[in-house]
Structure 1
Amino acid sequence: MNAKPDLEQLDMSVQQLSSVVADLEKQCPVADKGLSVSSAQGCPVAKCSQAIPSTRQCAVNHPIASPFVPDYNIPLLAPGGGDQKPDVLEKLGPLADLVGTWVSQRFSGFNVMPIPQVTAPNGFILKNFNYYEVITFSAISGKVANRGGQYEQDSYTLFYEQRVFFADGPQMDDLVHAENGSWLHQVSAQQGQNEVNTAPFIPTPPAPNPIPTQNPLTEIVKQVSVPHGNSILALGGVTRSYCAPTIPVANCLPIAAPDAFSAAYGPNIATNPSINPNAVLDSALLKLADKGVSVASTTALTVDSDNHGAIANTPFMKSHSDVSRFTTTYWIEHLSTGHLQLQYTQNITLDLPVGDKTYKFPHITANTLTKVQ
């Protein structure tokens, strides 16, 4: 074996490396500590501080200040959540009374939770439990305009955050559910509504006169983000009455499923919360009546993903417990004491695969909350 060509190649590589090192020395010479030079881009850089070229790093020492610094103190949310701004509350319409913080009693909420379990006799189990929760609603500072070309749709928005906790049992006071999202009150309006809506920026063709009114059946929107991997869009409307709400009887039994599935739910009667979680809402109203407190008026917000809405689920969720529909009703109740009470029922339809078939299981929750601030 002739080693001479290998030595010649090695010598050539050393020469090339020395040339590269020399170039680096010119670009980033060793200098006194603290001395800096400007890079080709004009940015001050720290000179290399070590003699070994392979370890030298030239980094930005003092970045040039941006010519524009946004005011990061401008609040996204209206002060006090919006409850002290009459103009914000007026535009929120039926959502205005929600602004603030709401809490429930420890055992006031009930959850019926079917979950897949391949080792169970019927392929699922129930995780039903009492819960308590905190929900906060805050108005954003301003409208959200959806420009339509001739006129616009304005959304006056509440951001909300919901935290749910086990009421008792081995996981008592543990967080069991969290979500956030928004409620929108949508109205039709003149496009622009400021100086750009005057000449020469007047929309062409002219806006309809009168401007079409917002469809009351899609006036209210709920957008939900759940960390299970679900995003939900549900639309609906508002009803008002000067009395307590009539709470519907819910039914948690899986739809068109074998009779054997019903055994896990217990007796099929309206007072059984595993069948009808809304029973806890009637119970709360009865407790108020026993104290001589009545509901003077009720604003009901009902939204449904089947009403021009949509649901997106992650691949895992679609395979194991696909959310196919979402409905909820919020009853905002003005009590004879002057206080506010919030009751809700929520039904999430879960498509659970059991054996070689898929069945629709209602996942229903219901609770009563009081506004505390």
Structure 2
Amino acid sequence: EPLLLFRSLEHIGTHAAHTLAFRVIALDEGLWLPEARNWVRRRGAGVLAAAITARGHDDRYVRRWSRWAVEHLGAEDPGRVVQSLDEAQLPDVLRAYASIRMQSAMRVIVSYVDSERRSVRHAARWAMEQYGGNAIWILRTAHHNETGEHAPREWGWRRLTEQLYEHVDARRLAPVRAALDEGIAARDAGDLETMRARFDAVLARAPELEAADPVAEGYAQLGSAWLEEGRFADAAWAHRRALRLAPEHPRASAWRGAVGRAQAELDRARGVLDARHYEAHPTDEAAVAALASVPSTARATARGTARERWGFAAAGIMVLLGLALLWRPRRTETVDPALDDTTLDETLEAPGLPEADVTLADQTLPG
């Protein structure tokens, strides 16, 4: 059972699953250490983050495995090891170094706070926060390298990180800032085609845009215009993009309704009436108008057809159950002739055997 659990966690492959494997390594006084070492040999850098994290584990056998794994993978030198990692592994490794407060990793981690990849950038900034005041001189150096100015002595590490991140974010977004501003201006002016061209260029350069609400609102506005023009496929695409950019936007539910209406119109063009969508949005003027344009007999037919389908399905199930009960084979008691023992009958009927007198003698009770 522990081996099954260990292999299952290994194949799940996430950092959280790998850290759960520590419980298996800690079993039976180090019995699982050879299997844990084979795990490192099989997965290589895929378990690097777990091996680093295990340095701070409570169990001595887990820590022993961690020391061996870190040495085997060459993780003692953070600057060298991060160069061999792919972008999917890097965030977990940066967090792992910070979780054990490895001092030699701070200079490596701070170099990723302006990464183009949002997952790496967020992991690096989270890691620097774990070091806190211990990283203040690293942050001062990074601030000077980035801005060319020395930070005031009275600034603490939090103020330093805020100023550093503000500066690197402005530099990173500079190429797309102009296109973003032009797109917002075109949206406000009602030039939706120009807005789309600018916003498409922004997303091509920064697909993980953080302040995405203005862009999402622009795509939703474009989708609404296309919906009114009858370009239902394009309208559904635009509203889906808006939802992807800002799923928690206050108008996200309205955008989902627009996607549903566009899809319902596409189905209606194919001869399939989805009256439920129109009826589910009684406050949507366009949905009410579309529903009013459909004859009531058609709506009744659509609903009746659905009820008939369910009725036929239920009747079919009942018929099948009845046939199953009727066709169920009856149990018959059969006796295997091989099991019929005739030895006693043959013995009693054997020739020359005198008949036994089984007459019981009279017994009279005394007195």
TM range (shorter): under 0.3
Structure 2-normalised TM-score?
0.22
The higher relative CO (CA closer than 8 Å, separation ≥ 6) is in 1
Structure 1-normalised TM-score?
0.21
Which structure has the bigger radius of gyration?
A: 2
